[in-house]
Amino acid sequence: MHLLGSVVFNLMLATGAYAVFMAIAHLRRPENPRYLSAARSSLELHLIAVTLATTLLLYMLVSADFSIVYVAEHVNLQLPLFYRFTSLWAGQAGSMLWWNFLVVIFSYFAVRHMRRAEPALEGYMIAILMSLSLFFTAIGCFSPGSDPFRVFQDGEKLFAHAEGRGLNPLLQHWAMIIHPPILYFGYVAFAVPFAIAMSALLSGKAQTAWLKYVRRWTLFSWFFLGVGILLGGKWAYEELGWGGYWAWDPVENASLMPWLTATAFLHSIIVQERRGMLKVWNMVLVSISFIMTVVGTALTRSGVVQSVHAFAQSNLGWFFLGFIVITMAFCIYAIVKRYDLLKSAQPIESLMSREVGFLFNNVLLLASLFIIFFGTMYPTISEWISGHRESVTAEWFNKFMGPMGIVILFLTGLGPLLAWRVTTWSTLARNARYPFVALLITGTFAFFIVGGINAQWNSARIMAIITFAIAAFVIAGALEEWLRAALSRFRYTREFFLVALAMTLLQNKRRFLGYMVHIALAILFSGFAGLAFGTEARLILNPGEAQSFAGYTIHVENYEEKMIHTDTANKADRAPLYGTRMVTIAVYRDNRLIGRDTTEIRTYPMYNSREGGYTDSQNTSEPAIISTFLTDVYVQLGGDEKGKLVMQLWINPLVRWVWAGFAFFVVMGLVLLLPIGEGKVFKLGWLRFSVTPERALQG
C-alpha cells in the first residue's frame, strides 16, 4: 500500500508542475486555447491524485498499518475509530497532506466559478494556486519527515511501539476533533482571495468587480479562523488545567495574526467599493494576510518556535522561509508593476469621516500584528543574535495589546456613527448620544459594583472597567441602528415587528449582520476583561475536608485511584487505557451548593517493545469547572504534599460571557456566509413576506 502512496505522490508532483507550466504558457500566448485546456485538465488530475493520497493515508490510519512511520507514531490499537480519523492532522506529514488537499479542493471550485464570472483571471489563478499546492507536494516528496507514506528502515522499527505510539492524549478531546480542520479551512481558504486579487492586478482588471468575489472568500476564511481560534481556547480551558484559555502561545498567535489582517481587509474593501479609495492598501492587506497564513503554518510545522501545540524540530523552516521570500517578492513586483491601476479615484475630504475611521482602525490592526509577530519571534531572534533563547511573557503581550484592543473596540463602535466623506460634530453628537449614555451608565455601574473608590485598583482592572463601558457603547450603537431600520420597515410594510426585525438583518446582510458580529466581539471583550478581577489559591486538603476562599467553600467529597481499560467483551483482551487519580469537588456559596464536578490527573501508558512492557507514559489534566453566569470556579488536582491533596483553585469571572460571545459570533457569521434572504420570499402559515420591503406582503 505504501508503494501506491509513493506513486500517487509522484503523480501529484507531475500534475501540479504541469498545471503551473501550462497556465504560464497560456498567459504568454493567450491566443492558443490548448494551453489553458491542458492547465484545466492538469488541475483536475491533480485534484484526483491529492484526494487519492488523502484517502490512502486515512485507510492506513483506520486499519492501523504500522509499517508506515506516520501511522505507528499517531495510532495505537486501543485508539477509538473516530480518533484515528483525527490522526490525519495530528502530525506534521499528515497535516501537510491535509493542507494540500484543502488547497486543491478550494482551488478547483474557485477556478470553476471564476471561469464563468471573470474568464480573464482563470489562467493567473491556476498558476498561483497550483504553485502553492506544488510547494506542499514538493515538501512531502523531498523532506523525509513530511512524507506520510514513509516506511520503517532496517533497524528503525526497534524504536517503535509494538501497538503503535498513539494519538497524543491532549488531543483526545471533542474540541480537537473539529478545531484543527476548522482552523485549516481558515488558513487555506485565504489562498483564494489572494489568487483572485493578484490575478485581477496582473491582468490589468483591478477594478471593483473582483472585490465581490474576494469578499465572500475572505469572509469564509475570516469566519473559520475566528471559530478555530475560539475552539482552541475552549480546548485549552478544559484540557490543559492551568485556569485560562489564552496564553499568547506562539501557535495561538500564529492563527490570530492573519485573522487581524483579514479583519482589516474586510473593512478596507468597503471603502474601495464605496469611494474608490485605498486600492494599494487593499492589495497590501490581502498579500500580508496570505503571507501570515503561510507564516502561521511554518511556525507550527517547522519547530521554529516552542509551543505545546507545535510539532518537533524539522528542516521545514528553510523551505517555508524560501517560499515566503518568493511570495513577498512576487507581491511587491505585482503591486509596483500595476501601481497606476491602484491610484485612488478621489482624495480624503475630511479626517472626520467613515473612511478615515476605517483607515485608522486598519493601522491599529496592523500595529497589533507587528507587536504579536515581534513577541512571537523574539525567542528565535534572540537566539540568532546572542545564542541564548529568551522569551517574552504573557504580561508583555497584555501590556501592549490591552490598550490596543480597547482602542480598536472603541473604533468598532465609532465607525458606524460616522458619515461618509464628511461628518460634522453635530451629526456625530446626534448619532452617538444613546451609545454615549450607555457608555457612561455601564462604566459607572461597573465601577461601583466592583467596589468603588475603596476597591483595590490596578491597571488591569481600570482597563477592564473601560472595556465594559466601551462594549456597551458598541452594543448600543449597533442596536440603535438595527432598531431604527426595523421601525422604518415596520411603518412601511405593516408586518409584525419581530418579522421586521428579522427581515432587516437579511435586507442588508453586510451592514446589519456586520453590526451583530460587532456585538459578539463586544461580549467577547467583556468576557476577556472579566479575568482582571480573577484570583487564585493553592489549597491543601484531605478527602472530606473543606476550605473557604473568595466567598466560596471547596469541599473534597471523594478521592480514588483506578485504571481504565479498553471496553471489550473478552476480559483477557482488555488493555490499559489510562490510570486516573480522581477527586470529586463540591462548591458552595453562602451555604448553598452551586455545583459538583471531578478533577483528574490521567496517566496514559504506552507499550515499549524495547522494554517489553508499558514503560512510557504521559500525564494529562482534567479540571473541575463549576460555571455560573458571572463566575467560573476552576479546580485542578495538583498532586499531593505530606499525604494531603494539593488543589489549585482559580476564580475566573465572566468566562461564560466568552463562550456566549463565541456562540453569537458563530450564529451571526453563519447567517452572513450562507445565502439566506437576499430578496427571497418567505412563508409562515398564512403570512407571506420577503426580505425587500417593496415586495413585503401580509395576509
Structure confidence at residue 178 (pLDDT) = 83
Longest Cα separation, the chain: 84
Q: What is the mean pLDDT of each run of 10 residues along the chain (699 residues)?
A: 84 95 93 92 96 94 86 79 81 89 95 89 94 92 82 61 63 76 92 94 77 90 94 89 89 92 93 87 94 88 56 67 93 92 81 89 94 90 81 90 95 92 90 94 90 74 94 96 91 86 86 93 96 92 92 93 68 68 94 94 69 64 92 91 89 95 94 70 48 43
Structure confidence at residue 79 (pLDDT) = 72
Structure confidence at residue 385 (pLDDT) = 83
Residue among 653, 362, 449 nearest 534 (CA): 653
- Going by DSSP bridges, is the β-strand pair 687-690/592-608 parallel, antiparallel, or unpaired? unpaired
Structure confidence at residue 206 (pLDDT) = 65
385-418 burial by CB neighbour count: b if 16+ within 10 A, else e? eeeeeeeeeeeebbebbbebbbebbbbbbbbbbb
Residue carrying C-alpha cell 523574539? 378
Global pTM reads 0.89
Structure confidence at residue 576 (pLDDT) = 66
Structure confidence at residue 639 (pLDDT) = 79
- Whether 587 and 596 have beta carbons less than 8 Å apart is answered as yes
CA dist 253 and 368 (Å) reads: 11
Angle, alpha carbons 201-207-209 (nearest 5°):
110
Angle, alpha carbons 682-686-688 (nearest 5°):
30
**For the chain, how many residues are written?**
699
Three-state SS at 675? coil
CA dist 123 and 131 (Å) reads: 12
CA atoms within a 13 Å half-sphere pointing along the CA-CB vector of 280: 13
Structure confidence at residue 179 (pLDDT) = 84
